[in-house]
Amino acid sequence: MNVTRRDLFKVALASAAAGLDARALLTADAAPARMTDVDALGNVTLLHITDPHAHLKPVLYREPDTLIGIGDERGKPPFLTGAALLRAYGIAPGSAEAYAVTHVDFAALAARHGRLGGYAHLATLVKRIRAERSGRTLLLDGGDTIQGSATALWSRGEDMVRASNLLGVDVMTPHWEFTYGMERVRELFGDRERRGLFQGEFVAHNVSEAGWGDPVFKPYTVREVGGVRVAVIGQAFPYTPIAHPRRFVADLTFGILEDDVQRLVNELRDSRRADVVVVLSHNGITADLKLAARVTGIDVVLGGHTHDALPAPIEAGRTLVVNSGSHGKFLSRLDLDVKGHRVAAYRYRLIPVLARDLPEDGEMARLIAQIRAPHEAKLGEALAVSESLLWRRGNFNGTFDELILDALLKRADAEVAFSPGFRWGLTVVPGQTITPEDVFSHTALTYPNTWTREMTGAEIVRVMEDVADNLFHHDPYYRQGGDMVRLGGLTYAIEPGALRGRRVRDVRVGGRALDPARRYKATGWASLGEASGPPAWDVVADHLRALKRVKLDPRPRVRVLG
């Protein structure tokens, strides 16, 4: 009898309901030496990475402590964190798997288990699986690949495309890729008519020329894998023109385009061009779940954007929805047994890429060294030493966010500071030296300039309400996938489940109630409009050089209601 991870998950939940210690069930499965082992199943293996954010080297990245679901989402994946997530999936606390998927005891477990990811270690794992499953594997990348590091910024994404080619990525779909502008996207990835530097296929059915409606990229590709025809439909991030400066994609339209997805699925199914239909998506997980529930005929959604690391797929009807974390920490492996044009069975493993336990692939290690060599001295400068755990990820301010906000406030001598709720950016553990590389991991984007201006109290609250609606909208199709805007100089209460415009309460600036009519000196960075102040990475680096040591006391900035 073959026992799949899905079987173990069901046993774990049943045992928990019976009052048993479900956490012990997967303890052996969590041992680092066995985490890459999977008993092969069927004729197709889908390998999935997403949201690496340009990190070629192994990383420290703390998973969120707060993910708030709305209504029926509460207490269900993906809105589980910490101990609740470990209990739900039967993962032993303190294990390597627990370290990879939660924030619990992060600093201590980082010392025990080390860094995760790194393309040289990932390459070793991919080659092992390909050797085992020769002719049966497909490697798919969900995007946000060429943004998030200094070397990617300085090479305008070329370093990551070279690494992706060497890794052997077969298919990719985009999001942050567009922030280099369409001319650069075409150079790196091509379009519907021609190829770029990327050697795989770049697919996105939902990107068209404004006014004309002509598709810019191929909507899908069909690959034969293990004797099975696998169709991969590309779903680029649907809100690119809203989430970033419009100038990057001035002549393009995007969208979720649910009806178009259904049309493509029907076309592929009815013509028997595909036995399996996969959507390679950058929607964000809740939008993917809604899409999977409303479009018939999709077998698998391989999703990204929201950085959720799911130890098991979520089943939306007959569709498996997979999310594979971020920053290169994980490789998802999904084995499919395809019979009679349908998926008869599957086996899944979210594999943490533990750098200590996976040797580097020599060829990839040499490429990474070559890419980084001209920049090592600049990236390695000692700016300050942290006595605190510095991290970003979570619905509200993280400690690295507070560091950025402090730097902005001090430089501008402002009362209120804004920093975007990005979900990318590396973690710094106590005792670690902070370098420019760490700073760039939180600030490396193509519109980094700071701004300073006066804002009324009413304008400040309006910005907060708009971002809160993006994060907590009751309809997943209206969520853009980031976290709450990070705010310095003020405190507030928020009721995520309230209606639009009524979530933010009790805003206080400097301990005093915010006055809607008063004008406050405000500062921030990453504006969707024009900004002329110094780039955020310089502001933060200068702040760190002056501090020399970083120690952040707890700051109870946000009170969650309801």
Exposed, middle or buried by CB within 10 Å (0-12, 13-18, 19+), for 199?
middle
Exposed, middle or buried by CB within 10 Å (0-12, 13-18, 19+), for 53?
buried
Residue 459 makes CB contacts below 8 A (sequence gap 6+) with none
- What would the pLDDT profile of 71-116 be if each residue is shown by its tens digit? 999 999 999 999 999 999 999 999 999 999 999 999 999 999 999 9
- Tokens describing residue 548: 């020399």
Q: For position 27, what pLDDT does the model report?
A: 40
Q: Is the pLDDT of residue 25 over 50?
A: no
Domains of the chain: 1-30+63-114 (no CATH), 31-59+115-370 (3.60.21.10), 380-560 (3.90.780.10)
Spatial separation of the C-alpha atoms in residues 505 and 516, rounded to whole Å: 12
**Contact yes or no for 494/481 (Cβ under 8 A):** no
- What would the pLDDT profile of 409-451 be if each residue is shown by its tens digit? 999 999 999 999 999 999 999 999 999 999 999 999 999 999 9
Q: Is the pLDDT of residue 353 over 80?
A: yes
Q: How confident is the model at residue 501 (pLDDT cuts 50, 70, 90)?
A: very high
Q: For position 21, what pLDDT does the model report?
A: 36
- Tokens describing residue 215: 């598709």
Q: What is the DSSP letter of 549?
A: E
Global pTM reads 0.93
Q: How confident is the model at residue 33 (pLDDT cuts 50, 70, 90)?
A: low
**Contact yes or no for 182/202 (Cβ under 8 A):** no
Place of tokens 């092992």: 128
Exposed, middle or buried by CB within 10 Å (0-12, 13-18, 19+), for 499?
exposed
Q: For position 212, what pLDDT does the model report?
A: 87
